[in-house]
Every structure is written in structure tokens, then in C-alpha cells.
């Protein structure tokens, strides 16, 4: 982290977990534990929990995000949610391009870019996920893959709009596997992402960008990962489902 240059942000991605009662209980437990956080705190919850979580977090320092949005403003897209439907509810953030969307739901770099456009136009703050597969890391093309994902996602995005974007580096092989990238690996790729952004927007814009690491980040390894200059926070899956675990990561980012 480099808190002089940019904001540290810990975001929980609850994925497809927690019904409304469970969501409310988790937020109520979390609120006192993170109230003095010296970093941004976001929970990205299932669509069906948004209303409950927005109400439960009102007046607190916990911000609320969704986990996807469609690129069209409205229309015949059964099962999809438009970006403006989220902002109308009061949702502030949205996760885009998560590897699970890419892997199971046909998300591509191009559709991530389209969703990013719609999210920005609606006034949402996107958390854009990039990351290589295990095979790609083994073939030595991590830098190329992550650089390309970053460039395509940011196509058509202005420097002013970049200020509302967070990028999350999530190596696919580390997600839900208990296999964390080493701090050096995480720091190296987050640095590569920043260099790509510097190439597109200049050094100052890149220095101000929050870049998170995600993939089996937990209370035990958070401090070491966050000690990397270019790792400005975390996108947390499994460990975001328990208040003590999530708040311990928030505490590590608050140091
Ligand atoms: P885990 O923390 O469960 O590995 O998930 C990471 C992730 O995918 C967050 O978006």
C-alpha cells in the first residue's frame, strides 16, 4: 500500500452466498468491528440482498456493491440487471469481469469493456477484475494476459473516469483454492497493471489508482500482501463471509 498516493480499499465479494436474514446478521456483526477503519470498506452482495444490506449499512462506513451489471440500459435481456437499476437503489460499486463470470458465463474482455461503459455512465464505481489462468502463468504469459485484459477493459475510458475505477488482480489459480499468490507475485503483477495504466494515462493517474489483490486472501496473509507497494487492498471471497475474518483484513489495511 502507499496511502500517501492512493486509497486502500478492502472489498468483500460474497458471491452466491447469504440470504437476506444472513446478510443482515453479517452486516450487524461487521459494523462495530470496522467502524474505525482507515481504509475503504465495501461489501459486494447478491442482487437479492442489496436492499437489505443498503438499509443495514445506512449511516455506517460500509459501502455497498453489486457483482455484475448488464451493458444495455434496458430491454430483452432475461435475467440481467441494468446499471441504472443499481444506482436507482443507491448502490455505489459493481464488480465487473470476475473470473467466475468469464469462466462460467461467457464474459470476455470485450463484454467487460461494454459493462464498464454502462456502469460509468450510470455513475457506478466499477471494481474490474483481471487475472491469469494457471496454464498462462506456467507458460510465462501472465504479463501479456493481464496487460491485455487491462487495456481492453479500459478502452474508451477517460482519465477523469479512471478516478472512479478500482482494478482487482485475481490470479484464477488462487481463487477459492487456498493457494495464495506470494506477496512478491502479487506485488509484481499489481505493478505491471500500474505500468500499463501509466502507459495509457500517465504516471500521475496510475499512481492514484487503487489496485487490489484477490485470491485466498485472509486474516493470516493480508498484512504481508498489503505490505507490497502496489497492493492497495483486497477483494475477498471466502473470508468475507465471516465478520471476524473480514474485519481482521480491514484492520491489516488500516495500519
Ligand atoms: P477467495 O478469497 O474465496 O479465494 O475468492 C477471491 C475472489 O474471487 C474475490 O472476488
Dist. CA 170 → ligand 1 center (Å): 8
Output the tens digit of pLDDT for each of the chain's 255 residues: 999 999 999 999 999 999 999 999 999 999 999 999 999 999 999 999 999 999 999 999 999 999 999 999 999 999 999 999 999 999 999 999 999 999 999 999 999 999 999 999 999 999 999 999 999 999 999 999 999 999 999 999 999 999 999 999 999 998 888 788 899 999 999 999 999 999 999 999 999 999 999 999 999 999 999 999 999 999 999 999 999 999 999 999 999
Dist. CA 76 → ligand 1 center (Å): 31
Give residue 176's pLDDT: 82
**Parallel, antiparallel or unpaired: strands 210-214 and 9-13:** unpaired
- Grid cell at residue 43: 461489501
Nearest-CA residue for atom 9 of ligand 1: 237
Give residue 214's pLDDT: 96
Query: What is the residue whose three cell numbers read 448502490?
Result: 91
Dist. CA 60 → ligand 1 center (Å): 24
Q: Residues with catalytic annotation? A: 98, 170
Angle between helices 50-57 and 20-34 (to 10 degrees): 30
Domains and CATH numbers, the chain: 9-253 (3.20.20.70)
| CA Rg value for the chain | 17
Give residue 83's pLDDT: 98
Give residue 120's pLDDT: 98
Atom in ligand 1 nearest the alpha carbon of residue 95: 10
Give residue 45's pLDDT: 98
Amino acid at each position: 500500500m502507499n496511502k500517501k498516493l492512493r486509497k486502500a480499499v478492502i472489498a468483500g465479494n460474497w458471491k452466491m452466498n447469504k440470504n437476506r436474514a444472513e446478510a443482515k446478521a453479517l452486516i450487524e456483526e461487521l459494523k462495530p468491528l470496522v467502524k474505525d477503519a482507515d481504509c475503504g470498506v465495501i461489501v459486494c452482495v447478491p442482487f437479492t440482498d442489496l436492499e437489505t444490506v443498503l438499509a443495514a449499512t445506512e449511516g455506517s462506513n460500509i459501502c455497498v456493491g453489486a457483482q455484475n451489471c448488464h451493458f444495455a440500459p434496458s430491454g430483452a435481456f432475461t435475467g440481467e440487471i441494468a446499471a441504472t437499476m443499481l444506482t436507482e437503489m443507491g448502490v455505489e460499486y459493481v464488480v465487473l469481469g470476475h473470473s467466475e463470470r468469464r469462466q462460467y458465463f461467457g464474459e470476455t474482455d470485450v463484454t467487460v469493456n461494454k459493462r464498464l461503459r454502462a456502469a460509468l455512465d450510470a455513475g457506478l464505481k466499477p471494481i474490474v477484475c483481471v487475472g491469469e489462468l494457471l496454464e498462462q502463468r506456467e507458460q510465462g504469459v501472465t504479463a501479456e494476459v493481464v496487460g491485455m485484459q487491462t487495456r481492453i477493459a479500459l478502452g474508451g475510458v477517460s482519465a477523469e473516469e479512471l478516478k472512479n475505477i478500482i482494478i482487482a488482480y485475481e490470479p484464477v489459480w488462487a481463487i477459492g483454492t487456498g493457494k495464495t499468490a506470494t506477496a512478491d507475485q502479487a506485488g509484481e503483477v499489481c505493478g505491471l497493471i500500474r505500468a500499463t495504466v501509466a502507459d495509457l494515462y500517465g504516471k500521475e493517474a496510475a499512481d492514484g489508482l487503487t489496485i487490489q489483490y484477490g485470491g485466498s486472501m485472509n486474516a493470516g496473509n493480508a498484512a504481508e500482501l498489503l505490505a507490497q507497494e502496489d497492493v492497495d487492498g483486497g477483494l475477498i471471497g471466502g473470508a468475507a463471509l465471516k465478520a471476524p475474518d473480514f474485519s481482521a483484513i480491514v484492520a491489516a489495511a488500516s495500519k
